[in-house]
Chain A
Amino acid sequence: MIKEEIKKALENANLSGALTRFSEAYAVSRKKAYEGLDFEEIREKIASIKSYVAEHLDEVIAKFIDSAKKNGAKVFFTKNPEEVRSYIIELAKKNNVKSIVKSKSMATEEIHLNKYLKEEGIEVNETDLGEWIIQLAGQRPSHMVLPAIHLTRYDVSDIFTKKVEPIEPDIAQMVKFARKQLRRKFLAADMGITGANIAVAETGTIVLFTNEGNARLTMTLPKIHVAVVGVEKLVPKLEDVIPIAQALPRSATAQLITSYMSFVTKPYTHIDGSQKEFHIILLDNNRSAIAKDPKFKQTLQCIRCASCLNVCPVFRLIGGHVFGKVYTGGIGTILTAWTEGLRASKDIQGLCIQCGNCEKVCPGKIKIPELILEIRKKLTKEEGITFTSKAIFSVVNNRKLFHTILKTASKLQKPFTSEGFIRHLPLFLSEFTEKRSLPAIADVPFRDRIKKIQQPKYDKKAVFYSGCLIDFAYPEIGEALVKILNRAGIEVIFPQEQTCCGAPARYTGVMDVAANNAKQNIEALLSVEADFVVSACPTCTVALKTQFINDLQEQKASEKVIKEAKKLSQKVYDASELINILIKEGKIEFRRLPETAFTYHDPCHLIRTLNISKEPRESLEKSGMKLVEMFESDTCCGMGGSYSIKFPEISGTILRRKLENIKKTETKLVCTDCPGCVMQIRGGIDKDGLDIQVKHSIEVLAERLKEE
């Protein structure tokens, strides 16, 4: 079913157009908004404030209740959404409330409050413009902060015309129209319901950020004000508001500050001279369970800015109607699993391509991709995996069988292969080659080619971990690496027992297979004495450097194996890093060749997990190449390992954008440092018949080595 929804979303040009334009502009304006501030420092503060609250949740809740009660507010704390709804309904009935105005509140959306109020015959009007449009249209918000971003002015004019009064599709006019229409609702309302962006325990204050001013009217005009506050909004002290106030508008919409920040502490005299009623409902709804989970407790560090949506290469194509429920995108996937149950997140968790963009911008320092992977693992454990996946992983788990199958496949693929590409696959496999060509499996894999390379004997030795793609699809990248390292006086050793790094299993949540792959590789790679262990695939590098240790610890492997994993980790280098060091040490020199222009694509794992991005550029420039940066060079190419097989339409659409950005540089060469990215981008370029080459940096550097 999700496949159909994805297809529909991808075909919705308004949706992906609006989201993509926003996310492109957002990346630039967010950076500008943070100018002069230290983002790392701010988010460190937020993370530490909020993680303290998660650790001491009961205590902080009690403190808030105490302070707010002292201020004269009525406070109701419950774990149960049902009780929130009945509290509000009873309060409304007791006060003969006929109509309610609301300012945007995710907590009330989480408990589907509007639906229940309507069933009681109470009129509810959302007053945030975007939320009001969505409410009139009977839709669901497509983005947590920009609920109506999927609608054009024409859609909005249609909705207003059908549901309210005829109005021209002119934005300024429609905004005035909304002001006029909703002003009436404000003036007639008996109750105002808001959420809260922050709740301060020490003072019992709730803080609300809005741009439109609707929250101020919601709180001021009706006699009763009810604030529904998720307990994750709590902070201990008033000064804790400051870093959140700095980050929230900047991260949400790249604004320096919202027009209004309201601090509400106590009930006051109402406009008519009577006493204002001020109710605060603290909602738990499984948040205290999150706080107790050692891995997931960081989820409570979220400030609901939705920047994880704004930078997500998948979200900007399909939006929140497909990628999420009430809460959308990356953080939405995690919140859905906790507030609606693990099963509710089953389809959406798979949409994460694990590129890591969101983690870099999260003001709460939440490791969103890692937590989504945790959800995937839990689902795999609880629901198992498909028969096909099981069959595939049982093959990957057995190195000899796996490699024999790959070698056999290199013969079987012949009818589909030309010039090293598979361009069309028959029947149900056709979607894999619809938007990109696939590489043909090499006639002779690297593991056999290395045996024939005559290497001089050197004292320094490097073990080369090729990974499956270099071994079986692009052995020439491995050969280029041998050439370069030999030139620097390093002998390359290839232990034949090495196997798949476990990424396919790991990113599907099949952890026993991943851990078994880890064990086999550790044994193989440590079987020979060497100074370095080098990988030219960043996903493999990350596996060797950190994932093996994590997986083995998680699978409760023996101390001995874990110690070996750590020993291996110490020796691991990504080739891009090692080569850059060798160049700087003067051990690798280049020929004088005419300056060739190239553009560079940053592999996700290289730039975001290994923090390597300057080194490969510098190495290529040292070899006499001229860099022309492309737009969004660090945005995922859509490969994502098996993601491109699970969601070929999304993967293909992300790839198209990458190709557009490459074309705009007008260079004829794309360099990158990941064989997966080479496969994806090269496949797209072949499909489009473009006159552009895609190469692993190592290949280019090897071609330009100084002659001996």
Chain B
Amino acid sequence: MFELFKEKATFMSAEVHLFKSKAEALDFIKDFIIENAANKVSKSVVWCESQFLEGIDKDALQKELPQIEFNIDLNSASSAKIGINEADFGIAETGSLVEISKTAAKRLCSTLPEIHIAILPLNKILNNMAELFGKIDIRDIPYLTIISGPSRTADIERVLTIGVHGPERVIIAAVENF
């Protein structure tokens, strides 16, 4: 199923990486931050609390990479270049991420920054939308988004252009042993 997910997500211009463990995924994210948001002075990374961060020493992480901000508000999110959060599900058929957010913080990480990194537990990849609807009770969910690739427009001369109001890169870090 991951293969299908990867194929479809890649088709939608998302970048998909698979990691054996959380540690491997964390290393990847750290390297990515260093490469894409090198300036340690500004808080250019917002990272939303999630299961992935459990057991990770956030203080140590912040010491290593001071550009990371865990406290998410309009200010930090709108000035960040990279937003990191954890997707609740993946949908193989369309290569989509499913993001369930009860508060705005998680959503801000995938709406405002130029780059969105979504951590996706491998066992959360579902076949299709019908399976998703069977797993959730939408009445308990204030806000759910199915995200398929980066923000895009073709409103000027029908030329496809990536990155209008939302992220111009969507990076999916799928993790096997979550």
* Interface residues of A, Cβ cutoff 8 Å to B: 18, 21-22, 67, 71, 127-130, 133, 146-149, 151-153, 156, 171-172, 174-176, 178-179, 182-183, 186-187, 200, 203-205, 211-214, 216-217, 219-221, 238-239, 241-242, 245, 253, 256-272
Picked from A22, A147, A212, the residue with its CB within 8 Å of the CB of B165 is A212
With a cutoff of 8 Å between Cβ atoms, the chain A residues found around residue B146 in the complex are 257, 260-263
In the bound complex, what is the Cα–Cα distance between A272 and B72 (angstroms)? Answer: 11
B141 within 8 A of A: yes
Contact between chains at A171 and B157 (CB < 8 Å) = yes
With a cutoff of 8 Å between Cβ atoms, the chain A residues found around residue B165 in the complex are 127, 179, 182-183, 186, 212-214, 216-217
20 A/B residue pairs, CB under 8 Å, sorted by A: A129-B155, A146-B154, A156-B156, A171-B156, A172-B161, A178-B164, A179-B165, A186-B165, A211-B151, A212-B151, A214-B165, A220-B108, A238-B133, A260-B145, A260-B151, A260-B166, A265-B142, A267-B142, A268-B104, A271-B105
B20 within 8 A of A: no
Closest Cβ of chain A: how far from B125's Cβ, in Å?
Answer: 16
B41 within 8 A of A: no
Q: Identify the closest chain B residue to A253 (Cβ).
A: B154
With a cutoff of 8 Å between Cβ atoms, the chain B residues found around residue A183 in the complex are 78, 165
Apart from the given pairs A18-B157, A172-B161, A211-B153, 5 other A-B contacts in the complex at a CB distance below 8 Å: A174-B156, A183-B165, A211-B164, A213-B166, A260-B145
Contact between chains at A220 and B129 (CB < 8 Å) = no
| Complex interface bits, B123-153 against A, C-beta within 8 A gives 1, otherwise 0 | 0000001100100001101111111111111
With a cutoff of 8 Å between Cβ atoms, the chain A residues found around residue B139 in the complex are 67, 71, 203-204, 265-266
With a cutoff of 8 Å between Cβ atoms, the chain A residues found around residue B103 in the complex are 268-269
Picked from A146, A257, A270, the residue with its CB within 8 Å of the CB of B148 is A257
* Interface residues of B, Cβ cutoff 8 Å to A: 11-12, 73-74, 78, 94, 96, 101-105, 107-108, 111-112, 129-130, 133, 138-139, 141-159, 161, 163-167
Residue among B73, B101, B164 with the highest chain A CB neighbour number at 10 A: B164
In the bound complex, what is the Cα–Cα distance between A482 and B59 (angstroms)? Answer: 94
With a cutoff of 8 Å between Cβ atoms, the chain A residues found around residue B147 in the complex are 259-260
Contact between chains at B164 and A212 (CB < 8 Å) = yes
Closest Cβ of chain A: how far from B30's Cβ, in Å?
Answer: 27
With a cutoff of 8 Å between Cβ atoms, the chain A residues found around residue B144 in the complex are 262-263, 265
For the complex of A and B, 8 pairs with smallest distance between CB atoms: A213-B166, A130-B155, A268-B142, A213-B151, A129-B155, A212-B164, A261-B146, A263-B144
In the bound complex, what is the Cα–Cα distance between A213 and B151 (angstroms)? Answer: 6
With a cutoff of 8 Å between Cβ atoms, the chain A residues found around residue B148 in the complex are 257-261
Closest Cβ of chain A: how far from B62's Cβ, in Å?
Answer: 22
Residue among A149, A213, A269 with the highest chain B CB neighbour number at 10 A: A213
Q: Identify the closest chain B residue to A149 (Cβ).
A: B158
Known: A213-B165, A217-B165, A256-B94. A262 touches B145 (CB 8 A): yes
Closest Cβ of chain A: how far from B97's Cβ, in Å?
Answer: 10
Closest Cβ of chain B: how far from A626's Cβ, in Å?
Answer: 36
Picked from A179, A241, A262, A270, the residue with its CB within 8 Å of the CB of B164 is A179
In the bound complex, what is the Cα–Cα distance between A256 and B158 (angstroms)? Answer: 17
Contact between chains at A203 and B152 (CB < 8 Å) = no
Closest Cβ of chain A: how far from B6's Cβ, in Å?
Answer: 15
In the bound complex, what is the Cα–Cα distance between A665 and B65 (angstroms)? Answer: 64
Contact between chains at A216 and B154 (CB < 8 Å) = no
In the bound complex, what is the Cα–Cα distance between A217 and B166 (angstroms)? Answer: 8
Q: Identify the closest chain B residue to A246 (Cβ).
A: B129
Known: A216-B107, A259-B147. A271 touches B74 (CB 8 A): yes
Known: A148-B155, A263-B141. A239 touches B133 (CB 8 A): yes
Contact between chains at B157 and A263 (CB < 8 Å) = no
Contact between chains at A22 and B158 (CB < 8 Å) = yes
With a cutoff of 8 Å between Cβ atoms, the chain A residues found around residue B108 in the complex are 220, 271
In the bound complex, what is the Cα–Cα distance between A18 and B138 (angstroms)? Answer: 41
In the bound complex, what is the Cα–Cα distance between A239 and B144 (angstroms)? Answer: 15
With a cutoff of 8 Å between Cβ atoms, the chain B residues found around residue A130 in the complex are 153, 155-156
Q: Identify the closest chain A residue to B94 (Cβ).
A: A257
With a cutoff of 8 Å between Cβ atoms, the chain B residues found around residue A263 in the complex are 138, 141, 143-146
Closest Cβ of chain A: how far from B171's Cβ, in Å?
Answer: 15
Contact between chains at A213 and B164 (CB < 8 Å) = yes
Closest Cβ of chain B: how far from A217's Cβ, in Å?
Answer: 6
Q: Identify the closest chain A residue to B95 (Cβ).
A: A257
Contact between chains at B155 and A128 (CB < 8 Å) = yes
Contact between chains at A217 and B111 (CB < 8 Å) = yes
In the bound complex, what is the Cα–Cα distance between A265 and B154 (angstroms)? Answer: 29
With a cutoff of 8 Å between Cβ atoms, the chain B residues found around residue A205 in the complex are 138
Contact between chains at B156 and A265 (CB < 8 Å) = no
Contact between chains at B166 and A212 (CB < 8 Å) = yes
Closest Cβ of chain B: how far from A258's Cβ, in Å?
Answer: 7
Known: A171-B157, A242-B130, A259-B148. A264 touches B142 (CB 8 A): yes
With a cutoff of 8 Å between Cβ atoms, the chain A residues found around residue B161 in the complex are 171-172, 175
Residue among A67, A156, A211, A261 with the highest chain B CB neighbour number at 10 A: A211
Picked from B94, B101, B164, the residue with its CB within 8 Å of the CB of A214 is B164
Closest Cβ of chain A: how far from B32's Cβ, in Å?
Answer: 21
In the bound complex, what is the Cα–Cα distance between A631 and B151 (angstroms)? Answer: 34
Q: Identify the closest chain A residue to B73 (Cβ).
A: A271
Q: Identify the closest chain A residue to B149 (Cβ).
A: A259
Closest Cβ of chain B: how far from A560's Cβ, in Å?
Answer: 53
With a cutoff of 8 Å between Cβ atoms, the chain B residues found around residue A212 in the complex are 151-153, 164-166
Contact between chains at B155 and A264 (CB < 8 Å) = no
Q: Identify the closest chain B residue to A214 (Cβ).
A: B165
In the bound complex, what is the Cα–Cα distance between A479 and B119 (angstroms)? Answer: 75
In the bound complex, what is the Cα–Cα distance between A398 and B107 (angstroms)? Answer: 72
Q: Identify the closest chain B residue to A182 (Cβ).
A: B165
With a cutoff of 8 Å between Cβ atoms, the chain B residues found around residue A187 in the complex are 74, 78
Known: A153-B156, A187-B74, A261-B146. A268 touches B102 (CB 8 A): yes
In the bound complex, what is the Cα–Cα distance between A175 and B166 (angstroms)? Answer: 12
Contact between chains at B104 and A220 (CB < 8 Å) = yes
Closest Cβ of chain B: how far from A156's Cβ, in Å?
Answer: 5
In the bound complex, what is the Cα–Cα distance between A399 and B104 (angstroms)? Answer: 74
With a cutoff of 8 Å between Cβ atoms, the chain B residues found around residue A269 in the complex are 102-104
In the bound complex, what is the Cα–Cα distance between A272 and B111 (angstroms)? Answer: 17
With a cutoff of 8 Å between Cβ atoms, the chain B residues found around residue A148 in the complex are 155-156
Picked from B12, B104, B138, B151, the residue with its CB within 8 Å of the CB of A271 is B104
In the bound complex, what is the Cα–Cα distance between A588 and B12 (angstroms)? Answer: 54
In the bound complex, what is the Cα–Cα distance between A263 and B164 (angstroms)? Answer: 21
With a cutoff of 8 Å between Cβ atoms, the chain B residues found around residue A268 in the complex are 101-104, 142-143
Q: Identify the closest chain B residue to A263 (Cβ).
A: B144
Picked from A18, A176, A264, the residue with its CB within 8 Å of the CB of B158 is A18
Q: Identify the closest chain A residue to B72 (Cβ).
A: A271
Contact between chains at A203 and B156 (CB < 8 Å) = no
In the bound complex, what is the Cα–Cα distance between A155 and B154 (angstroms)? Answer: 15
With a cutoff of 8 Å between Cβ atoms, the chain A residues found around residue B145 in the complex are 216, 260-263
In the bound complex, what is the Cα–Cα distance between A258 and B95 (angstroms)? Answer: 12
In the bound complex, what is the Cα–Cα distance between A129 and B155 (angstroms)? Answer: 6
Closest Cβ of chain A: how far from B135's Cβ, in Å?
Answer: 12
In the bound complex, what is the Cα–Cα distance between A205 and B148 (angstroms)? Answer: 20
Contact between chains at B151 and A259 (CB < 8 Å) = yes
With a cutoff of 8 Å between Cβ atoms, the chain A residues found around residue B73 in the complex are 271-272
Q: Identify the closest chain B residue to A267 (Cβ).
A: B142
Q: Identify the closest chain B residue to A208 (Cβ).
A: B145
Contact between chains at A221 and B74 (CB < 8 Å) = yes
In the bound complex, what is the Cα–Cα distance between A22 and B154 (angstroms)? Answer: 11
In the bound complex, what is the Cα–Cα distance between A205 and B141 (angstroms)? Answer: 10
Q: Identify the closest chain B residue to A70 (Cβ).
A: B139
Closest Cβ of chain B: how far from A183's Cβ, in Å?
Answer: 7
In the bound complex, what is the Cα–Cα distance between A166 and B19 (angstroms)? Answer: 46
With a cutoff of 8 Å between Cβ atoms, the chain A residues found around residue B155 in the complex are 128-130, 133, 146-148
Closest Cβ of chain A: how far from B80's Cβ, in Å?
Answer: 13
Q: Identify the closest chain A residue to B170 (Cβ).
A: A259
Contact between chains at A213 and B141 (CB < 8 Å) = no
